[in-house]
Amino acid sequence: MQANDFESIRIQAESEAVTISTPQGLEEFRLKYLGRKGLLARASAIIPTLSQEERAEFGRKLNILKKALTVLVEEKAKTVAAKDSGSSINRIDLGLPGIAQELGRLHPITQVIDEICALFTRMGFIVVEGPEIETEYNNFTGLNIPLEHPSRDTFDTFYLKPKTDNLKPATKYLLRSHTSPVQVRAMKSRKPPLSIVVPGRVYRPDAVDASHSFMFHQVEGFLVDKGIKFSDLKGILEVFAKGIFGENIKMRFRPHFFPFTEPSAEVDISCIICQGKGCSVCGRKGWLEVLGCGMIHPNVFKHVGINAKTYTGFAFGMGVERIAMLKYGINDIRLFFENDLRFLKQF
């Protein structure tokens, strides 16, 4: 092919251009035809050897070819770039900062439950869980809660539709209103000595406000063995309270009534905000109620078949949200359940 054979150069360039698929291939193509040492540059080298008339004609054809090839390279550049964007390998910029992965974490309530359970398991307790749908017997009767007790009222408990089985009296089911039915289950299925903590969800038909929710969490604990005394209960709870709220807190036991324990007490800790001086959190009293407890009632032992003459035991129960709110100074229980990451990320 002659360098000045414009038409054959154009045909050759066009057929070669069809096979170009990479930016490098396109650059080689551009240099071959339009580069400083390319075919067109070499063709124009013969201009001085031509006559005046031939020069004009040659120059005109050369310019047309140059324009055609420039347009061809520009067009080709677009399709090569479009193809190239399909493969990310050429677009990785190692200098860019990385994209941080959002890591999940445990919910603050789960963290507090784990912390409470860890404290008790260090003292030899084991963790046992039970179902959230319970029989009325396990939730009330087995725990010595009499038929007329207000907590059995439908205003205080979510009852489920009874199963329609005409052959037997229907078993009443409910959403457990405390974790204590697991006491009944565990004491029936295991032999003393028992030392068990029970974390879990409980349900009560309370209107939702800053301190109430229809669902919340409790941790229940109980210990049954020969010769267990109220002082054992006090000792265990002191380890718990200091473990959760710090070595400097004080505790007090106030006499109280629960159907399933006798004697019973409510436990207060010295206010962690004002250290007992009195503030708005503790209602100027200097004390904060944290849990209920007592010695397991002999009637509960009777229901589960444990001899109350041989064995004694204690039980305690606490609301996890309350513990978490006191521990972290949170003033609204709803924050735990709204799934607002701005809140949850702080734990």
User: Least distance from C-beta 264 to Zn ion, angstroms?
Assistant: 25
d(CA 72, CA 30): 10
At closest approach, how far in Å is the CB of 195 from Zn ion? 33
- CA of 346: how far to CAs of 45, 105, 248, 340, in Å? 76, 10, 25, 11
Going from the C-alpha of 146 to that of each of 192, 217, 267, 304, the distances in angstroms are 26, 24, 24, 16
To Zn ion, the closest distance from the beta carbon of 282 in angstroms equals 3
Which residue, judged by CB position, is nearest to Zn ion in the bound state? 271
Closer by beta carbon to Zn ion, 186 or else 271: 271
Measured CA distances, 100 to 76, 194, 241 (Å) = 38, 47, 38
Least Å distance, CB 170 to Zn ion, is 49
Q: Give 163 or 277: the residue with its C-beta nearer to Zn ion.
A: 277
Between residues 149 and 254, which has the closer beta carbon with respect to Zn ion? 254
Considering the complex, state which of residue 62 and residue 281 has its C-beta at the smaller distance from Zn ion: 281
Residues that bind Zn ion (CB under 5 A): 271, 273-274, 279, 281-282
Cβ(220)–Cβ(182) under 8 Å?
Answer: yes
Structure tokens at 319: 């609301």
Q: In the bound complex, what is the minimum distance in angstroms from residue 271's beta carbon to Zn ion? A: 3
Contact 246, 330 (CB under 8 A): no
CB 8 within 8 Å of CB 51: no
Find the shortest distance in angstroms from Cβ 314 to Zn ion: 28
Cβ closest to Zn ion, residue 282 vs residue 290:
282
**85 vs 280, beta carbon nearer Zn ion:** 280
Token pair of 88 as six digits: 């990310």
